[in-house]
Structure 1
Amino acid sequence: MRLSEQLHAHPETAWEEHRSARWVAESLEEAGFTVQPAYLGLDTAFLATFGSGPFRLGLCAEYDALPGLGHACGHNLISAITVGAARALAPLADAAGLTIEVYGTPAEEGGGGKIELLERGAFAGLDLAMMAHPAPVDVAEAEPFAVSHSHVSYQGKAAHAAAYPEQGVNAADAFTVAQVAIGLLRQQLPPTVRVHGVMTNGGEAPNAIPARTEGRWYVRAASLDQLTETEDKVWRCFEAGALATGASLDIQPESKPYAEFRTYQPALNAYVRNAEHLGRVFDRNSPARDMNRASTDMGNVSQVVNAIHPYVGIGSLPALNHQPEFAAHCVGGDAEKALLDAATALAWTALDVAAVSGTD
């Protein structure tokens, strides 16, 4: 509880989670885990290990917050759930044949920290990777969109908007054209695609033709293949803005694309049994269960090792993830109950899957 509240009170955004990573790592060191800080060269990543059994269990901790919204996705709870499960399993590791590996994974909110770790050799050879994410209601299976994150900018030419407007090249107009084109494109996009973004710099003064505009845009799709196909169409919309105004266009990826999720069904089945034994209810008809479509770089991990990514309800309705009201629900009684239940269910699931593995 203390760790969750501490993280919630001191939110840090992607790649800036220096205190958060240290606090999570320290809570594992207190339980006898061996911690490698700045894991694989990433300042706010770590690896904490315990035990030496043949079954290698990976538990992922996320602790980055959202700009301007704090822990409105509940990553403070993710870290506490992971630490709780790891500490519960530690005394049983030798008897259960476990090696417990807790990965501190920065920058899930658009930075792709797990992808960076993957490409540097993390997660290799794990028998199972797990984490649990807060949501309004309990949902068992993650079905996230693949997603790309891009920084988009137009470079035009400044001019006095009243005296010499014809001398300017309006970079803000370029963005307007692109956004209109994207809006029209949506009619031809399948329901498994999402395109959305924000302008982060729209100009400096109303009486000056904007010379530069910038924005951040996400493209989501059911799979990496569909994502690539969709990106080509979206980029043409941005190119239309450049062509119409004469501004130059630059599109830069903010991270490598997040993949769709591949669920390891035996572990998910075990998690559902364990969660239901604790009194959790999976309402498959609730519209609030759509949080399981949210993109995550845990999808990339699931492409390499067996993985599950269930969602634990914190009783937040009508508040939903990425709303300030949801952040408020990520501490307090319902959040604490969800934390304990999810940590317990993950720990029991690890023991179940390891036991079956040992009999194969």
Structure 2
Amino acid sequence: MPAATALDDVEELVRRRGDELVELSHAIHAEPELAFDEHRSCAKAQTLVAERGFEITRAVGGLETAFRADYGSGPLVVGICAEYDALPEIGHACGHNIIAASAVGTALALAEVADDLGLTVSLLGTPAEESGGGKALMLEAGTFDDVTVAVMVHPGPTDIAGARSLALSEVNVEYRGKESHAAVAPYLGVNAADAVTVAQVAIGLLRQQLAPGQMTHGIVTHGGEAVNIIPGRATLHYAMRAIESDSLRELEGRMFACFAAGALAAGCEYDIDNSAPAYLELKPDRWLVDVCRDELRRLGRAPVPPDVEAVLPLGSTDMGNVTHLLPGIHPVIGVDAGGATVHQRAFEAAAAGPSADRAVVDGAIMLARTVVQLAQNPDERDRVLAAQQRRASGAAGGTQS
């Protein structure tokens, strides 16, 4: 198939099915579901590809709300990641409904050219990105073992081809003291809430000495039962972030000392539990990023320049774990939310608005055309296939260009 024909075909397919993709985005948006409980959203994301003849494997990686939908049998296995979990209280304020619908559109478009381009198209339903690390768990279970390259698109307030992210880890900290009457015999109690206070003061002082790119934020998830009872139990949930994983490990050591200080000062016992797999920083494939940037511009968008990408504020994603194993991209597609950004209520409303609907279609076109160009470029195709072969053989070697 001529190069121009395949590029035109995938774009035409997405535009022709654009109304169905937008309908899918709105349907997921209307029924937000939290991490590992995205049963309705997971099912909705499978409907259109099942009708197209994709082979569906449910509960992959042992996760009830994960799936894999495959079409084709070519050696270049393209994993298209669909997220669909929401946030507590503010629903799809991160726009994962847009991610899922764009991923489905990309998969449907690539199915049209899979045989001609030697592709296996794999739509991967990846739960629990906001909290829980679905992709990290699927990686550990081998779901990505045969995938050559992984792609997805995330909405945000602006277009970013080479989006980066911070490494992240989360912990739950439980302090255990001893209850007593707060007025009759407070001296007989051991105040677990005091341990929380001391730990948070220590963390507040630590922030002055954090290295560039390090940050931490948390909440008190339990602080006692009643005002007249010395709290015998108190809990914290904290996230730690850093530009790269070595820096994150250094931050964890200092944070754990703050948690220990709280227990020591209050005379409590304590435990630290990692609530989810750590998220690694994104390592986007540079060649795919450059193609993606050109595609964004072709669609009339204005992605930020590469030098600006390097200084933008960052979040975290388990897609970073994927890009440490195989070539991948995680571009951001712009949604007009009136100046709001992700994780704000105004962005949740915008995620089902006209700008978001355009982002669904543009995102699918951008990803599909990027994959087509990879498949039709002999040098780059050979590069990513060789990297896959090295992974399969267990040989060392990087995958990024």
Task: Give the TM-score of the pair, scaled to structure 1.
Answer: 0.96
Which one-letter code corresponds to 1:76 in the other structure? N
Q: Which residue of 2 aligns with 1:68?
A: 89
Q: State the alpha-carbon separation in 1 of the partners of residues 41 and 48 from structure 2.
A: 11
Q: Which residue of 1 aligns with 2:79?
A: 58
The alignment partner of 1:30 has SS state of: helix
Q: 2:32 touches 2:85 (CA, 8 Å); kept in 1?
A: yes
Extract unaligned runs of 5+ from structure 1.
none
The alignment partner of 1:44 has SS state of: coil
Q: State the alpha-carbon separation in 2 of the partners of residues 317 and 234 from structure 1.
A: 37
Alignment of 1:227-246 (within 5 A): 227-246=248-267
Alignment of 1:129-140 (within 5 A): 129-140=150-161
Q: State the alpha-carbon separation in 2 of the partners of residues 27 and 12 from structure 1.
A: 20
Q: 1:125 touches 1:305 (CA, 8 Å); kept in 2?
A: no
Count, aligned residues: 358
Q: State the alpha-carbon separation in 2 of the partners of residues 137 and 249 from structure 1.
A: 43
Q: In the TM superposition, what is the alpha-carbon distance from 1:267 to its structure 2 partner? A: 0.8
| 1:26-65 alpha-carbon deviations (Å, 9 max, x no partner) | 2210222111011132111000001112211110000111
Q: 1:312 touches 1:338 (CA, 8 Å); kept in 2?
A: yes
Q: In the TM superposition, what is the alpha-carbon distance from 1:271 to its structure 2 partner? A: 0.8
The alignment partner of 2:246 has SS state of: helix
Q: In the TM superposition, what is the alpha-carbon distance from 1:262 to its structure 2 partner? A: 1.3
The alignment partner of 1:280 has SS state of: coil
Q: In the TM superposition, what is the alpha-carbon distance from 1:290 to its structure 2 partner? A: 3.6
Matched, 1:208 2:229: yes
Q: State the alpha-carbon separation in 2 of the partners of residues 269 and 185 from structure 1.
A: 39
Q: 2:296 touches 2:303 (CA, 8 Å); kept in 1?
A: no
Specify whether residues 212 and 128 from structure 1 end up closer, same or farther in structure 2 by C-alpha distance, changes over 3 A only.
same
Q: Which residue of 2 aligns with 1:21?
A: 42
Q: State the alpha-carbon separation in 1 of the partners of residues 180 and 27 from structure 2.
A: 49
Specify whether residues 72 and 240 from structure 1 end up closer, same or farther in structure 2 by C-alpha distance, changes over 3 A only.
same
Q: Which residue of 2 aligns with 1:315?
A: 336
Q: Which residue of 1 aligns with 2:52?
A: 31
Q: Which residue of 2 aligns with 1:147?
A: 168
Matched, 1:42 2:63: yes
Q: Which residue of 2 aligns with 1:340?
A: 361
**Aligned equivalent of 1:273, options 278, 294, 298:** 294
The alignment partner of 2:377 has SS state of: helix
Q: State the alpha-carbon separation in 2 of the partners of residues 149 and 27 from structure 1.
A: 35
Q: Which residue of 2 aligns with 1:351?
A: 372
Q: Which residue of 2 aligns with 1:177?
A: 198
| 1:244-297 alpha-carbon deviations (Å, 9 max, x no partner) | 00111111001121111111111111111111100011134889x846x21111
Alignment of 1:103-122 (within 5 A): 103-122=124-143
Q: State the alpha-carbon separation in 2 of the partners of residues 255 and 40 from structure 1.
A: 15
> Which runs of 4 or more aligned residues in structure 1 lie more than 2 Å from their structure 2 counterparts after TM superposition?
283-287, 357-360
Matched, 1:86 2:107: yes
Q: State the alpha-carbon separation in 1 of the partners of residues 293 and 52 from structure 2.
A: 28
Which one-letter code corresponds to 1:330 in the other structure? A
Q: Which residue of 2 aligns with 1:3?
A: 24
Q: 2:61 touches 2:137 (CA, 8 Å); kept in 1?
A: no
Q: State the alpha-carbon separation in 1 of the partners of residues 338 and 325 from structure 2.
A: 35
Q: State the alpha-carbon separation in 1 of the partners of residues 378 and 47 from structure 2.
A: 31
Which one-letter code corresponds to 1:329 in the other structure? A
| 1:202-235 alpha-carbon deviations (Å, 9 max, x no partner) | 1111111111111211011111111111101001
Which one-letter code corresponds to 2:330 in the other structure? H
The alignment partner of 2:115 has SS state of: helix
Q: In the TM superposition, what is the alpha-carbon distance from 1:77 to its structure 2 partner? A: 0.6
Q: State the alpha-carbon separation in 2 of the partners of residues 191 and 110 from structure 1.
A: 25
Matched, 1:102 2:123: yes
Q: State the alpha-carbon separation in 2 of the partners of residues 86 and 191 from structure 1.
A: 39
Q: 1:50 touches 1:90 (CA, 8 Å); kept in 2?
A: yes
| 1:328-356 alpha-carbon deviations (Å, 9 max, x no partner) | 11001100011111110000000001111
The alignment partner of 1:64 has SS state of: coil
Extract unaligned runs of 5+ from structure 2.
1-21, 383-401
Which one-letter code corresponds to 1:44 in the other structure? T
Q: In the TM superposition, what is the alpha-carbon distance from 1:197 to its structure 2 partner? A: 0.6
Q: In the TM superposition, what is the alpha-carbon distance from 1:357 to its structure 2 partner? A: 3.6
Sequence identity percentage: 46
The alignment partner of 1:303 has SS state of: helix
Q: 1:124 touches 1:305 (CA, 8 Å); kept in 2?
A: no
Q: Which residue of 2 aligns with 1:250?
A: 271
Which one-letter code corresponds to 1:181 in the other structure? A
